[in-house]
A = this chain, B = another copy of it.
Amino acid sequence: MAVTFADRPQFVLFGDSITQRSFDISGWGASLANRYCRKADVVLRGYSGYNTLWATFLLDRLFPVESSKPPLLVTVFFGANDAGFPDRGKEAQHVPLPEYKDNLRKIVAHLKKANVKHIVLISPPPVDEEALLVHGRALFGEEAGELPVREHQRTGLYAEAAESVARETGVLSLNLWSILQKTTDWQKFLNDGLHLSHEGNQEVFRNLVDILDDPSLKPSLQWQSFPWDYPEFDEIDYQNPAKSLQPDLKN
């Protein structure tokens, strides 16, 4: 039996509220941490309400280029706020489509410079406009606008843009807007028209795992490819545990 002491790689989840909330019950981030437990550390860097422009200001601090141990994987999951309508209360957060693409390019370029090996650009999910309006009225009553602050088709353009930047820069892509709609009743994947429901979180988790499990990725992100941090309990020589757990001591 090979004794393993894994220097666990880091998977950093960088994004907006859909990332920030990803450790809530059934959350896709928590499920990723659970899958790679004892193999990789999943680090949460979600910033609710943020867009790609604001994200660019965070790069130097969150992903220092001179880091001696850059993350192995970073998921970049922005767009839901960028795609909001500037004339429907989203003036502050809105980012026009061409700038959204440019910001994504900047983020990818920075992460590459910081020696991040794998980047997944995750697009915003589809928008359930009906549910969004209902939710807005529940929150703001009479003051809620009559038009949704986000629209399904418009968000689709941002999703397409994220996918195209991924293609152009040679990084991984998860076009959630398209993929979730492969299920007819995709509205069940959202809980307020925008954020992920329990089912939606698990669907995102499954789709992300499909990407990470691609055997052609170099270096591999497959679960099997990571060493186990310390041996499994039934592999420990219990009559001489130091031999299994501190091999450097040459017991």
Residues of A within 8 A of B (CB): 5, 20-21, 23-27, 30-31, 33-34, 37-38, 41, 43-44, 46-50, 53-54, 57-58, 61, 81, 91-93, 229-230, 232-234, 236, 238, 241-242, 245-246
**Given A5-B61, A230-B58, A246-B57, are A37 and B46 neighbors across the interface (CB < 8 Å)?**
yes
| A233–B47 touching, CB < 8 Å | yes
Residues of B within 8 A of A26 (CB): 25-26
Closest residue on chain B to residue A238 by CB atoms: B92
Smallest CB–CB gap between A195 and chain B, Å? 13
| A93–B238 touching, CB < 8 Å | yes
Residues of B within 8 A of A58 (CB): 230, 245
Complex: A233 Cα to B93 Cα, angstroms: 8
Residues of B within 8 A of A229 (CB): 47
| B57–A92 touching, CB < 8 Å | no
**Given A58-B230, A92-B236, are A34 and B21 neighbors across the interface (CB < 8 Å)?**
yes
